[in-house]
Structure 1
Amino acid sequence: MIKSTSFDDGFAILSSNEAIDCLMFSYQMEHPDEHQNVRQLIGKLHERQQNVPVFLLGDREKALAAMDRDLLELVDEFAWILEDTADFIAGRAVAAMTRYRQQLLPPLFSALMKYSDIHEYSWAAPGHQGGVGFTKTPAGRFYHDYYGENLFRTDMGIERTSLGSLLDHTGGIWRKRKICRTRIWCPIAPGR
């Protein structure tokens, strides 16, 4: 979590290309220029990271009465700090961040990460056990450390049905090919 206490500080954080999964700001906008500052912060965030969830934390009556429609449209969720519990607000933020992260990844990479998260053994080839065989010698340890365990744990063959199959056109492999085929044969027109 990165906390900012001023517009300039927040703008500097967003300008430094931090990986932001959710932007939350508290509603204390008593002056019209504060609305513009929030618009600038959200705009700066979306320059590099589109679709990042934006939360407004505040009192329902004050926030809705004082905010203009354009600013309301930039906010994804409203958390009413005098009505909702901290656990509920945190849960909403975590759910929004999870949805954001899920839409970021291409289908095959997403399937690969899900596969890696279940920590399943694969006995198809020696390197597929996380490269543990390489750790038996000093040179092998350097090799393993250089590439990392994830490379060896996710080096999969066609036997992993959770990833899909090149032969059967299923799973993440199929979804990836479908997207590529759509982009090649049906490109998006410029400006759309």
Structure 2
Amino acid sequence: MKTEEVLTVAIIDDAHKIDSPQGRAIHRIITGLKEYGIRVGEIASPEDARAAFSALAGIDCILINWNLGGDTSERHEVTAKLIDEIRERNEKIPIFLMGEPTNAPPTSLPLKTVREINEYIWVMEDTPEFIAGRITASAKRYREMLLPPFFKELVKFSKDFEYSWHTPGHAGGTAFRKSPAGRAFFNFFGEQLFRSDLSISV
């Protein structure tokens, strides 16, 4: 039985495939996320990101390179506008802004952008494993926050591997698996449905 939905992180970045210190650092972060079991979607430009907005509901965290397309004020404006557009569609999704360490704070960040992001990460300062862990924790909190109270408890119940002997769950669907037609029915919907199919009579 699938006990937990896979988390998905989108990385909007054009540097991780370049053989540079920053590119290698971002690539290691992606590797770290995958080791945590996170599905990673790689997006190379603001234009591609806008084309993928329809899939935003399935994303649990977004990483954006502040220097996407180049370290210039014009490109920063494009990135800031992209963050605005994401926030217009989703006020709660975690947004991590990636930057390179410097001796001074990122003064080019508009105050509005600072308010719209959740974290600013130096990709070459902290370890990739730590950054991947921060992203994973934020994505998990976001996923848990999305669930309404009843559904949240239902998900929790299904993860506890409890027996449910009442109808219509039929002990997690075991009754259906005793006949060919019943097994086909069980396979069609999947075990998760029957394990979490609780009666209001109990």
TM-score if structure 1 supplies the norm length?
0.72
Q: Which has the larger radius of gyration?
A: 1
Deviation at 1:34, TM superposition (A): 2.0
Q: Report the CA distance shift for 1:74/1:60 in structure 2 as closer, same or farther (over 3 A).
A: farther
- Partners of 2:63 and 2:197 in 1: CA distance: 38
- Partners of 2:185 and 2:54 in 1: CA distance: 36
Structure 2: runs of 5+ lacking an equivalent = 1-39
Q: Report the CA distance shift for 1:63/1:55 in structure 2 as closer, same or farther (over 3 A).
A: farther
Q: Does 1:85 align with 2:124?
A: no
Q: How many residues align?
A: 160
Identify the residue that residue 146 of structure 1 maps to in structure 2: 188
Do the aligned residues in 1 keep the contact of 2:164 with 2:172 (CA within 8 Å)?
A: no
Deviation at 1:27, TM superposition (A): 2.7
- Partners of 1:69 and 1:22 in 2: CA distance: 21
Q: Deviations over 1:82-134 (max 9, x none)?
A: 22000110111011111111111100000000111121223345834220210
Q: Report the CA distance shift for 1:13/1:90 in structure 2 as closer, same or farther (over 3 A).
A: same
Alignment of 1:127-138 (within 5 A): 127-138=169-180
Identify the residue that residue 35 of structure 1 maps to in structure 2: 76
Deviation at 1:69, TM superposition (A): 1.4
- Partners of 1:17 and 1:65 in 2: CA distance: 29
Task: Name the structure where strand makes up a greater proportion of residues.
Answer: 2
Q: Deviations over 1:130-153 (max 9, x none)?
A: 202101212212322333322211
CA RMSD of aligned residues (A): 2.4
Deviation at 1:25, TM superposition (A): 1.3
Do the aligned residues in 1 keep the contact of 2:171 with 2:195 (CA within 8 Å)?
A: yes
Q: Give the letter for the 1:38 counterpart.
A: T
Higher relative contact order (CA 8 A, sep 6+): 2
SS in 2 for 1:11: helix
Q: Does 1:76 align with 2:115?
A: no
Deviation at 1:32, TM superposition (A): 2.4
- Partners of 2:72 and 2:107 in 1: CA distance: 13
Percent identity for Structure 1 against Structure 2: 38
Do the aligned residues in 2 keep the contact of 1:116 with 1:154 (CA within 8 Å)?
A: yes
Do the aligned residues in 1 keep the contact of 2:65 with 2:98 (CA within 8 Å)?
A: yes
Q: Report the CA distance shift for 1:94/1:159 in structure 2 as closer, same or farther (over 3 A).
A: farther
Identify the residue that residue 14 of structure 2 maps to in structure 1: none
SS in 1 for 2:175: helix
Do the aligned residues in 1 keep the contact of 2:87 with 2:116 (CA within 8 Å)?
A: no
- Partners of 2:80 and 2:107 in 1: CA distance: 17
